[in-house]
Amino acid sequence: MTAIDFNAHRRARSGAADDTARLLELEARYCSHGDTVHYTDPPKIFDRCEGSYIFDTEGRRYLDLQMWYSAVNFGYANRRLNDAVKRQLDRLPQVASQYLHRQKIELAAMIAEDAEQKFGQKGRVHFNVGGSQAVEDSLKLVRNATGGKSLMFAFEGGYHGRTLGASSITSSYRYRRRYGHFGDRAQFVPFPYCFRCPYGKKREDCGLFCVEQFARLFDTEYYGVWDSKAQSCEFAAFYVEMIQGTGGYVIPPPGYFERLKEILEARKILLVDDEIQMGFYRAGKLWAIENFNVKPDIIVFGKAITNGLNPLSGVWAREELINPTVFPPGSTHSTFNANPIGTAVALEAMHMMRDHDYEEMTALKGARFLAGLRDLKKRHKIIGDVDGLGLALRIEICEPHDSFTPSKAITDRLVDIALAGDLEDGGRKVGLVLDIGGYHKNVITLAPSLEITYEEIDLAIALLDQLFDRVGQ
Amino acid sequence: MTAIDFNAHRRARSGAADDTARLLELEARYCSHGDTVHYTDPPKIFDRCEGSYIFDTEGRRYLDLQMWYSAVNFGYANRRLNDAVKRQLDRLPQVASQYLHRQKIELAAMIAEDAEQKFGQKGRVHFNVGGSQAVEDSLKLVRNATGGKSLMFAFEGGYHGRTLGASSITSSYRYRRRYGHFGDRAQFVPFPYCFRCPYGKKREDCGLFCVEQFARLFDTEYYGVWDSKAQSCEFAAFYVEMIQGTGGYVIPPPGYFERLKEILEARKILLVDDEIQMGFYRAGKLWAIENFNVKPDIIVFGKAITNGLNPLSGVWAREELINPTVFPPGSTHSTFNANPIGTAVALEAMHMMRDHDYEEMTALKGARFLAGLRDLKKRHKIIGDVDGLGLALRIEICEPHDSFTPSKAITDRLVDIALAGDLEDGGRKVGLVLDIGGYHKNVITLAPSLEITYEEIDLAIALLDQLFDRVGQ
Amino acid sequence: MTAIDFNAHRRARSGAADDTARLLELEARYCSHGDTVHYTDPPKIFDRCEGSYIFDTEGRRYLDLQMWYSAVNFGYANRRLNDAVKRQLDRLPQVASQYLHRQKIELAAMIAEDAEQKFGQKGRVHFNVGGSQAVEDSLKLVRNATGGKSLMFAFEGGYHGRTLGASSITSSYRYRRRYGHFGDRAQFVPFPYCFRCPYGKKREDCGLFCVEQFARLFDTEYYGVWDSKAQSCEFAAFYVEMIQGTGGYVIPPPGYFERLKEILEARKILLVDDEIQMGFYRAGKLWAIENFNVKPDIIVFGKAITNGLNPLSGVWAREELINPTVFPPGSTHSTFNANPIGTAVALEAMHMMRDHDYEEMTALKGARFLAGLRDLKKRHKIIGDVDGLGLALRIEICEPHDSFTPSKAITDRLVDIALAGDLEDGGRKVGLVLDIGGYHKNVITLAPSLEITYEEIDLAIALLDQLFDRVGQ
Amino acid sequence: MTAIDFNAHRRARSGAADDTARLLELEARYCSHGDTVHYTDPPKIFDRCEGSYIFDTEGRRYLDLQMWYSAVNFGYANRRLNDAVKRQLDRLPQVASQYLHRQKIELAAMIAEDAEQKFGQKGRVHFNVGGSQAVEDSLKLVRNATGGKSLMFAFEGGYHGRTLGASSITSSYRYRRRYGHFGDRAQFVPFPYCFRCPYGKKREDCGLFCVEQFARLFDTEYYGVWDSKAQSCEFAAFYVEMIQGTGGYVIPPPGYFERLKEILEARKILLVDDEIQMGFYRAGKLWAIENFNVKPDIIVFGKAITNGLNPLSGVWAREELINPTVFPPGSTHSTFNANPIGTAVALEAMHMMRDHDYEEMTALKGARFLAGLRDLKKRHKIIGDVDGLGLALRIEICEPHDSFTPSKAITDRLVDIALAGDLEDGGRKVGLVLDIGGYHKNVITLAPSLEITYEEIDLAIALLDQLFDRVGQ
């Protein structure tokens, strides 16, 4: 039998350490390092997870404060959601996307009915897999609705994915540099990042200078984006994360998005709300945008809708943009777009969100966590800023001499030490899993499980305190 | 509690018909129709699946001959693979893609070791989710390796996905028309579709005229693709499906790809082998390309690697293209790129493929199926052509007067009747799930389960015979 | 004889008025109105010109203060330059651009030797015809020198021509809107237009806030233009008019360009200096850039080099960018690129500029003109701002209530009245030819002949005074 | 006086040879070599021209058979046309393009009235300078008329200029290679080059296979250019030279363009006829297209319309594409677009073409020239093919062993010897100026003056005979 003659590399059951070494060696030889694994060196191997904890191959426990960048909002190995997968496996684990199944329909209906109630706008849902592909679908909706316009506004610091199309509207040039020309590159607009105001203003008296700078672009055709005679903008839509994810969990000031939406509506520019990271109660509401008193034209979602069990993603769009006349059959497609396992677990997650008051829960837990962070800030000069909305929280790490100059070096040390796993919790060794974000890679972006307990929050604060102490020494 | 106030639409347990009507109504209101569901009207709802069969909400059985367009090669609800998901759910259902887990590493290693043995080339694997995103990653590899060149050759009739980038190299203009400008649109080259030779040649004496037409493009700079002075091509890579999927399971003549590869190598143009639909023994080998005596520079895979249980996809690339020096950390990324459930089931699938001789199995079953089809062709004038490689089989439906003029109308009728579910199998009603492909939408592309039994093959032939009889009447 | 059977439309010599009517009728039927002629309605027909004056078909005289948008710097029908054309006509009026002629070589040498002396940099000249084509050639130089990068920075309010490539770096979206996608659209940066500071600053204490905003873009990769790891910018060059032409003859504050160049050099971004409108002593120096203490990487020139007698244009570039190794034979081309008549008259013009002290002349005349404008400003509330450098002068027309709000309506009336030709000069009717520029189309951009007499300057001021009086009434 | 301190390089009047050496040295240092001058080494300097002859700095005479690539159709230093320039210089040498002058209007009217009579279609003319800029204007017309579509069909071997936009539709990749990404690159279609049929057919029985291959592209959406559902083509226009210029003066077979136009009309694809090289009786008619019984949607012209005295160019377009409603004021523009000297000489040239029967003249002279070439072909094995239409003639140079294999080497030698100037005409030394074209750079493309005498034609044939003898020895 010669079909596949794999040089079988059997797991030596002897010891975890041997096994880990073998795995790292295989990884060094056969895995692409083009993903983000080798941001850490050596890479960390995890073996088991439960609730707010993840365990390495040696069984060491890590309190996870990033939860797969907010993909696992409902805790690792959440029983209810895991069971939903198992049920679906037993009944209809597969069905071609050209046919229907109950879960797809009910999930779309739940999302659209909720949006209709909240935003007063009918709409529909289109599924796909992976956030980037949902972003690509949203680009198709926008381009289709605007006669083929393919230029977008997006935010400095914004992140919308890594397909070529999504990279075009994602701010970092590093993500495009190796790949030649991007003919649909977005125009990037400063985000209202008040701690480091791009215009050097103070929040108290800035009069939202930043959004008025954006408004200025429409004053004459010579600012490059607007044809006053034709009343037409060169840019079809503005892609926003209401709270930037990769950008460092920056929370915009009150009024910003209301004014932005006003400008966009006056210019017939669509607002695409990327909720891939902040959706599903990360920021205290089903959609982060609900915090800001504006209505989206399109919502893009992904990650936590399946609690990380399946890459299901999707877009909701206003009826005008997505009804079958303007967006008819065959407009877009992917094999796994509404795959039964993904939609089944997402449907269960939506039911779970209906069954429990996540809004109140995240408000209370978020308040406790943020209070802890504020306390830490008082005591550690390397903390320049802390902030939070719901359970999206941030700690900005700075040089201790001014608590302002960003320090990537200190941040890296903090995260490395946290991941080394030898912090102490009541005499036991424990680690912390932290994620880094921010324009200067100096922000610890905290996305704990929404199911985190108050005790775990207190532990998190205590462990962070230890951590800052160690680095501060 | 107001967190989500869904207008709950409870499933009336009363009767399946009521329920189906309610689902269809919800679907009409809340689901985007932009996918392929509404190619059929009314859309079909399926409820349960097992082996080669899928069942509708009324419990009717359908022999499935398309298996989610070849995503479910190992049969619906395959026990071994389903169990792999369940085990992973219980141990490590989630882990951020920036950390490692055993399944990712072992899966990459199995694929790369196999490729090294077969193609004599070291390489690495990069995972993603959804075939299109893997195609996008392959575009990044190609663009990076060629100094940013972003133009590709691809085949007429070729299909590589529906992101904007993948649509650029997918032949059908219908997939691009609504979406404005595609600055990276491929140059599409005629596929060696001998039954309908683009150049009107006969296979017996064509001397592979088609591939020599491609070779001609390099004769002078004035054919638009080649700078003879600089010995440089405007096009970075040629994207191929060795057997076209959407294009109608067209099997190329011997020698075609060998000569093509020779031309490409002489011009330093990369060969990207899209195995998303044909990989994993659909065409009788792990990779379809193994049938054609050429070596790929990059392989893109997806679909059947998880048997449809997770959208895991990926690329394998030659070491020169993907080693950490040229494709360093952060080059591309997605949240779910090597998600533990997807890699766990894929790893199990790879083990399963090693444990059984799928090459022999698909050869034998394919031969039996093709023999049946050839017999049908003799008796039904609407069959213009049948062909097959492994268990990728095709029936080309034509006008009966010449058995050559493509008939989309007859094909549609065949598929509708098949899906109506009232064919007869030993007195019981049964349906057939068929998929349509081909340049003229007149090809029934058959992708049965590789686990299909001989009895089921015979039944398939018998049901097709019934079907052709009905339409032929 | 039927070769061309034109419906001959013979000029009726009867009367000028009849003839004018006939011409306007033909124009209405057979001329494209896509150019700028129909900005005025009815369009004006001119018949003769001399010195600072142009005459209409009825023989009425107009003092011209725009001189074909600065293409006729040396006065209409300049004898010395006209004679150069005639001499060339008699000797070598034609020669294929693949062969050499004396005039091309000597002209290139004069320009390059002058640049080498002024900027301390060796360089070469490449000719073409029309400013836009020279801009296109400069884009080729830039793209070639930066490994194919095709994105540029350019200024809000900037104008570089109307080919598709030049339109990509020209600010106004109106120039692109009708023409679909522009994959190389520039990023437009606010120009230091201090009278209307884009950031609402005051020149006295702004600290050149605007250029520091540009510098800010390089602080992190997340501002979208810079890869800090690779030390590489997404944008290859910055296209500047040192004094904006179409933008309204805005003169930048001291220090701006010095700081800008510093930033660009640190980032290896090329500076392309578009001198098409401001070159050849319009701004008091051969090149406007000589006023600002910075060195260009590339200079683009056109217009006045032939005094409007031939569309000769060209680029000068630093040796590193244009030497035969990097920019070898065949890199670009056009039939008329160094046509003998164009190069002959340009060579004569360069000799003329060497023979006379245009620097002193334009300084003195400019000072007198600007003094007159300042005096007018004191007496007319509709003048918001006047400014000038050399003989590039501006009057910004505003609402009289605040002398600040731009008034396109008043500006249009002023220009229409001026062109009506019934202003009074010592009892005789006379007109003024004025051009409008500015972001709000409220700036009278004055480009008088460099050969204008002091009496004509005084007359210009007197006529403008009359004009403002009429409109102010 | 320091305004320009040129290191004056005075012409040493001593001797022509010294002067030539000095000029070549200056050229080597200060001229860009990026144009086509250095295709010949050392470059040739010409000094004087008259009729069919051009003279070098030593006074040697060259019979010119390329006439500035067909820009000087009416002979060097044509008295009537030179005088038109002088008259205009004396009256209205300059006028801003935003104002009208008689010559522009009358020229547009003559062209449009002629086109209306010939093609039965009203239309208008838009002027510019340089063929490439007229091509760019035509691209604007096409993109505007098709809702912003920016992809074009064009021919293999086609040449439309060297701006970035024109390079996108010009076949040779060498013209694009150095300049990064071209997002609007055309799809290049084989030209009906029967001597070297791209499909290996014979003209006698090919049934115009090549144009039917083009027609094939519209058979299904999967050939990549056509959406059958929407009846819409991805490509907006087909750019053609009826007889390819740079491509080697290839004359298409009867019926080709009629069939092509039929296909294009059925698909609503515009036909843009580039007459820059073949217009103005080069091919025996005012427009080359008149030979082929099809109607253009747009004509682009340039070169010979001023006999090389001014780079005036332009487009004529059908009223539907260019009327002021669809193409309103400001749609495009250039400073010199209808410059008075260019339009004056072009108007005189049009009058001259009306006054003389160039159709008959070119037919007779062309026949005599072609007869001479055919005779040469009989006697020289290195001639593979000769052909001609009007006074556009071709000699294809091949290896003598088969008179078919293209020989660039022999062609280069022929041209070098011709330019060396020591052929013999009645005891006197004389040269020949020849141009090379063709896909393999092995075609001598002959574009003699339309005013050439029969004696000069005979001399040309005699000199070519000498030349072939020398090389053949």
Work out the pLDDT band at A41, boundaries 50, 70, 90.
confident
Q: ∠ CA A322-A134-A250 to the nearest 5 degrees?
A: 110
Q: In chain C, whose CA is at the least distance from the CA of D46?
A: C101
Q: Quote the CA–CA distance of B158 and C148 in Å, as a whole number.
A: 29
How many percent of chain B have pLDDT more than 90? 95
Only one residue has tokens 């300078």, namely: D129
Would the pLDDT of C41 be above 80? yes
What is the per-residue pLDDT across C185-210, written as a single tens digit (0 to 9) for each?
999 999 999 999 999 999 999 999 99
What pLDDT does residue B472 have?
76
Tokens 């992140």 found at: A159
Closest partner residue to D37 among C90, C98, C128, by Cβ? C98
Query: What is the torsion angle, in degrees rounded to the nearest 10, for the CA atoms of residue C150, residue B172, residue A151 and residue B337?
Result: -90
Q: Is it the case that residue A10 has pLDDT exceeding 90? A: no
Read off the pLDDT of residues C209-250 as tens digits, 9 standing for 90 and up.
999 999 999 999 999 999 999 999 999 999 999 999 999 999
- Which positions in chain C touch A248 (Cβ < 8 Å)? none
B76: which strand partners? B51
Q: How many CB atoms lie within 10 A of CB C271?
A: 21
B255 pLDDT band, cuts 50/70/90, is: very high
B59: left (phi over 0), alpha (psi -120 to 50) or beta: left
Phi, psi of B38, rounded to the nearest 5 degrees: -85, 15
**3-state class (DSSP) for residue B84:** helix
What single-letter amino acid sits at B217? L
Nearest CA-CA distance, residue B281 and chain A, Å: 9
What does the alpha-carbon distance between residue A146 and residue A144 come to, in Å, rounded to a whole number? 6
pLDDT recorded at residue D286? 98
pLDDT at site D17: 79
Please say whether the beta carbons of C423 and C463 come within 8 A: yes
In whole angstroms, how far apart are CA A146 and each of A251, A296, B179, C290, D64? 30, 16, 9, 45, 55
Tell which residue, B40, B13, B43, has the closest CA to residue B28. B43
Distance in Å, alpha carbon of B95 to nearest chain A alpha carbon: 6
C8 has a pLDDT exceeding 70: no
List B233's β-bridge partners, or say none: B226
Nearest residue in C to D317, CA atom? C32
Average model confidence (pLDDT) across chain B: 95
CB contact under 8 A, A183 and D180: no
pLDDT for position D32: 98
Q: What is the pLDDT of residues A258-275, one digit of tens each?
A: 999 999 999 999 999 999
Total Cβ atoms within 10 A of residue D376: 19
Contacts of C187 in chain A (CB under 8 A): 187
List all chains that touch chain B, counting a touch as 3 or more CB pairs closer than 8 Å. A, C, D
Is pTM beyond 0.90? Reply is yes
pLDDT tens-digit map of B170-221 = 999 999 999 999 999 999 999 999 999 999 999 999 999 999 999 999 999 9
Residue B378 contacts C where some CB pair is shorter than 8 Å: no
- Chain D residue numbers touching A147 (CB-CB < 8 A): 147-148
- For A6-22, what is the mean pLDDT? 63
Separation between Cα atoms, residue C27 and residue C23, nearest integer Å: 6
**CA D303 – CA D308 distance, rounded (Å):** 6
**pLDDT reading at B3 higher than 50:** no
Q: Is D179 on the interface with C (CB under 8 A)?
A: yes
Q: Which residue of A has its CA nearest to B285?
A: A3
Q: Is C13 on the interface with D (CB under 8 A)?
A: no
B346-356 per-position pLDDT tens digit? 999 999 999 99
Please, what is the end-to-end C-alpha distance for chain D in angstroms?
63
Structure tokens at A240: 């926003």
Residue D325, classed as helix, strand or coil, is: coil
Contacts of D151 in chain B (CB under 8 A): 181, 185
**Residue that the structure tokens 């869904």 belong to:** B6
Residue B8 has pLDDT above 60, yes or no: no
Per DSSP, the three-state class of A295 is coil
Q: Which chains contact A through at least 3 pairs of Cβ atoms less than 8 Å apart?
A: B, C, D
Residue-level pLDDT at B143? 98
- Measured between alpha carbons, how far is residue B322 from residues A307, B95, B166, B273, C229 in Å? 31, 24, 20, 16, 19
Q: How far is C229 from chain A (nearest CA, A)?
A: 8
Handedness of CA C82, C83, C86, C88 (dihedral sign): negative
Strand ranges of the sheet holding B298-301, from the earlier edge strand across to the other edge? B123-129, B312-318, B298-301, B270-274, B237-240, B152-155, B187-189
Check whether A7 has a pLDDT greater than 60: no
**List of E strands, C103-247:** 123-129, 152-155, 187-189, 226-227, 232-233, 237-240
Q: Which residues pair with D45 in a beta bridge?
A: C100
pLDDT, tens digit, for every residue of B270-301? 999 999 999 999 999 999 999 999 999 999 99
Cβ(A371)–Cβ(A357) below 8 Å: no
Q: What does DSSP assign to residue A216?
A: H
Residue B43 is classified by DSSP as P
CB contact under 8 A, A96 and B68: yes
- pLDDT level of residue C473 (50, 70, 90 thresholds): low
Least Cα distance to A332 among B315, B342, B130 occurs for B130
Neighbours of C436 (CB within 10 A): 19
Q: How far apart are CA D32 and CA D15, in angstroms?
A: 26
The pLDDT assigned to A473 comes to 58
Mention every residue, 6+ apart, whose C-beta is less than 8 A from residue D339.
C308, C311, D94, D97, D129, D310, D312
Distance CA A140, CA A127 (A): 13
What is the average pLDDT value for chain A, to the nearest integer?
Answer: 95
Locate D359 and state its tokens: 């159709």
Q: Are A299 and A316 in contact (CB under 8 A)?
A: yes
C-alpha B24/C-alpha C215 separation (Å) is 57
Distance separating alpha carbons of residues D26 and C106, to the nearest angstrom? 8
Closest Cβ opposite residue A179 in set B5, B71, B144: B144
User: Residue C233 and residue A173: Cβ atoms within 8 Å?
Assistant: yes
- Which residues of B are less than 8 Å from A127 in CB distance? 35
- CB-based contact (8 Å) between B350 and chain A? yes
Listed residue (B212, A11, D334, D38) closest to C166, CA to CA: D334
Do C51 and C77 form a contact (C-beta atoms < 8 A)?
A: yes
Residue D443 and residue D433 in contact, taking contact as beta carbons nearer than 8 Å: no
Average pLDDT rounded to a whole number, residues C116-125: 98
Asked if C287 and C53 count as a contact pair (C-beta separation under 8 A), the reply is no
CB–CB contact D188 B224 (8 Å):
yes
Q: What is the pLDDT of residue C40?
A: 86
Residue type, A239: Y
Residue to test with chain B: of D175, D222, D249, most B Cβ within 10 A: D222
pLDDT of A2 higher than 90:
no
Cβ–Cβ < 8 Å for D433, D66: yes
* Measured torsion, CA atoms of residues D202, D206, D211, D214, in degrees rounded to the nearest 10: -90
Per DSSP (E only), the strands in B319-414 are: 383-389, 392-397
pLDDT value at A1 more than 50: no
Calculate the CA A38 to chain-centre distance: 20
Examine the pLDDT at A442 and tell me if it is beyond 50. yes
> How many Cα atoms within 13 Å fall on the side-chain side of residue B76?
29
Residue A459 C-alpha from the chain's centroid: 24
C243/C283 Cα distance (integer angstroms): 8
Nearest to D181 among A147, A148, A180 (CB): A180
Q: What residues of chain D score a pLDDT lower than 50?
A: 1-3, 5-13
- What DSSP state is assigned to residue B284? S
A260 touches B: beta carbon within 8 Å: no
What span, in angstroms and rounded, lies between the C-alpha atoms of D169 and D159? 8
Residue from the list D27, D35, D180 with its beta carbon closest to the beta carbon of C148: D180
- This model of the complex carries an ipTM of 0.96
**C-alpha distances out from residue A190 to A250, C16, C51, Å:** 12, 60, 51
User: Which stretches within D171-231 are classed as H helix?
Assistant: 209-216
